[in-house]
């Protein structure tokens, strides 16, 4: 089954949608927005690789976003096919719609059916010394996919991007990349199947990556990159060239020490705000003789203050960090977590709460794995049988052991252990 929104079949050099390349299926920015690097969005929502905002307490309208970006919804039929091919239940993040959209996931499943290989690629932009719990989501999914399919994984740390967009020195960005990598390794990725790299150092060790960056840059005009990302005339040239660096790992020849000369398909689990990079990549890859990357899109992890924006590493009070103590986690959730409860206990008991806007409930949707328990909470809160304080308490009890277990695992990640993940080497995997 092909994506219904795609108007040409696999193998044609440029995927088109309504007569346009896939990378152009998003509105371009106004002059004022372009100066800030923010593409135009519908009035309700702003979604791009650097900004997420909604005027709705329930957050971004993902059905509208699917239509705007031209991706495909993960529906019951796709989940059923996924479970048939893997022989196991879909991950709860898929079942609950936290991973809700895709590009060419059917292609990846067909590869698995025919015994052909693919690899996983995801990443992290290191802008702070510690990840927050929202950053775990794409890595939780990636780890599950790697274990389910027994495939190699490459993880890109875009320290170059953060140097260009943030007030960061090159040397500091490299240090943050290594600190973030320790958080990632602490999640338990298999070193024999996982390669981690940071752009500012890897390109000096592997000429193939820079060569692919140049090949990609030759395929994308300045007008196209302005249209995709909203860059303006006053943006530094590094920003304009950067998208090719995020695109390159989706082309298997970027990693000759892993794939040799094989042209291997790639699946990218990521938040949907990263999709513009890979729409561009999917347009370019066939022109270079490589398959289009497939994507698995997640929703945004809400800030504690509410789903109108995503949890941010730049706002300490919007996020639960992996370095937070149990007391800090409790205080943050109790003080800042946006409530779907009513103004008074009497009103709440009568009318019930609104789970869809309640941040504590949203945290449970991501991290409480028991489907039956989650449904019991939703019904009890909706009926007014569970109060805001009680649902916050359950969120604290769910998140705290996750953070504590991560902290214990991270203490074991020495520089020597980390270096093994960064070593250029063949990876061991099945098909």
Greater confidence, 61 or 209? 209
Looking at the DSSP bridge assignments, the partners of residue 309 are: 53
Looking at the DSSP bridge assignments, the partners of residue 156 are: 123, 197
Residue 5: pLDDT band with limits 50, 70, 90 = very low
Q: What percent of the chain stands above pLDDT 90?
A: 78
Greater confidence, 281 or 32? 281
What pLDDT sits at residue 361? 96
Which range has highest mean pLDDT (7-21, 33-47, 410-424)? 410-424
pTM: 0.87
Answer positive or negative: Cα dihedral of 21, 63, 86, 420. positive
Inter-residue contact 114 to 94 (CB < 8 Å)? no
Tens-digit pLDDT profile for residues 119-176: 999 999 998 899 999 999 999 999 999 999 999 999 999 999 999 999 899 999 999 9
Tens-digit pLDDT profile for residues 137-151: 999 999 999 999 999
Mean pLDDT of 222-242: 94
Tens-digit pLDDT profile for residues 326-367: 999 999 999 999 999 999 999 999 999 999 999 999 999 999
What pLDDT sits at residue 429? 77
Q: What's the Cα-to-Cα distance from 52 to each of 96, 162, 168, 279, 300, rounded to whole Å?
A: 21, 17, 22, 18, 8
What pLDDT sits at residue 16? 36
Decide: helix, strand or coil at residue 212.
Answer: helix
Q: What percent of the chain stands above pLDDT 70?
A: 86
Inter-residue contact 187 to 139 (CB < 8 Å)? yes
Report the mean per-residue pLDDT for the chain. 88
Is residue 34 over pLDDT 90?
A: no
Inter-residue contact 340 to 361 (CB < 8 Å)? yes
Least confident of 45-59, 89-103, 274-288, 386-400: 45-59
What pLDDT sits at residue 318? 77
Distance between CA atoms of residues 304 and 322, nearest Å: 15
DSSP code string of 235-298: S-HHHHHTHHHHHGGGSGGG-HHHHTT---EEEEEEEGGGHHHHHHHHHHGGGGT-PPPEEEEE
What domains sit in the chain, N to C, each tagged with a CATH number?
A: 16-303 (3.40.50.620), 315-410 (1.10.240.10)
Is residue 27 over pLDDT 60?
A: no
Looking at the DSSP bridge assignments, the partners of residue 102 are: 72, 296
Mean pLDDT of 314-334: 88
Distance between CA atoms of residues 171 and 230, nearest Å: 28
Decide: helix, strand or coil at residue 109.
Answer: helix
Tens-digit pLDDT profile for residues 269-293: 999 999 999 999 999 999 999 999 9
Is residue 419 over pLDDT 90?
A: yes
Inter-residue contact 41 to 57 (CB < 8 Å)? no
Is residue 325 over pLDDT 80?
A: yes
What pLDDT sits at residue 317? 72
Tens-digit pLDDT profile for residues 62-92: 898 899 899 999 999 999 999 999 999 999 9
Is residue 195 over pLDDT 60?
A: yes
């Amino acid at each position: 089954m092909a994506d219904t929104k795609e108007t040409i079949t696999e193998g044609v050099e440029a995927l088109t949608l309504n007569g346009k390349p896939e990378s152009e299926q998003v509105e371009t920015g106004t002059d004022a927005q372009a100066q800030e690097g923010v593409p135009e969005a519908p009035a309700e929502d702003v979604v791009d690789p650097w900004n997420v905002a909604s005027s709705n307490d329930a957050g971004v309208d993902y059905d509208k976003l699917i239509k705007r970006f031209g991706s495909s919804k993960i529906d019951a039929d796709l989940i059923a096919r996924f479970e048939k091919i893997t022989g196991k239940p879909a991950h709860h993040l898929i079942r609950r719609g936290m991973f809700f959209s895709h590009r060419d996931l059917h292609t990846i499943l067909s590869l698995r059916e025919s015994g052909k290989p693919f690899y996983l690629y995801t990443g992290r932009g290191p802008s702070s010394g510690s990840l927050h719990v929202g950053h775990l989501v794409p890595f939780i999914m990636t780890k599950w996919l790697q274990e389910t399919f027994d495939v190699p994984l490459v993880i890109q740390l875009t320290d170059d991007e953060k140097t260009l967009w943030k007030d960061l020195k090159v040397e500091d960005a490299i240090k943050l990349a290594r600190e973030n990598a320790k958080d990632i390794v602490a999640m338990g990725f298999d070193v024999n199947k996982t390669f981690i790299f940071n752009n500012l150092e890897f390109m000096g060790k592997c000429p193939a990556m820079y060569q692919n960056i140049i090949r990609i840059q030759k395929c994308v005009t300045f007008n196209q990159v302005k249209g995709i990302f909203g860059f303006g005339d006053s943006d530094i040239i590094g920003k304009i060239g950067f998208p090719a660096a995020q695109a390159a790992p989706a082309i298997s020849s970027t990693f000759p020490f892993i794939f040799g000369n094989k042209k291997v398909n790639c699946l990218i689990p990521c938040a949907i705000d990263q999709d513009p990079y890979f729409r561009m990549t999917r347009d370019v890859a066939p022109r270079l003789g490589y398959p289009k990357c497939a994507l698995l899109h997640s929703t945004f992890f809400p800030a504690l203050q509410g789903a109108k924006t995503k949890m941010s590493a730049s706002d300490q009070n919007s996020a639960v960090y992996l370095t937070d103590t149990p007391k800090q986690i409790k205080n943050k959730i109790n003080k800042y977590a946006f409530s779907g409860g009513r103004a008074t206990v009497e009103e709440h008991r009568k009318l019930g709460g609104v789970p869809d806007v309640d941040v504590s409930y949203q945290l449970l949707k991501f991290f409480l794995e028991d489907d039956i328990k989650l449904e019991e909470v939703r019904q009890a809160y909706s009926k007014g049988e569970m109060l805001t304080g009680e649902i916050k308490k359950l969120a604290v009890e769910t998140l705290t052991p996750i953070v504590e277990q991560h902290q214990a695992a991270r203490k074991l990640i020495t520089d020597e252990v980390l270096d093994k993940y960064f070593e250029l080497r063949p990876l061991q995997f099945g098909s």
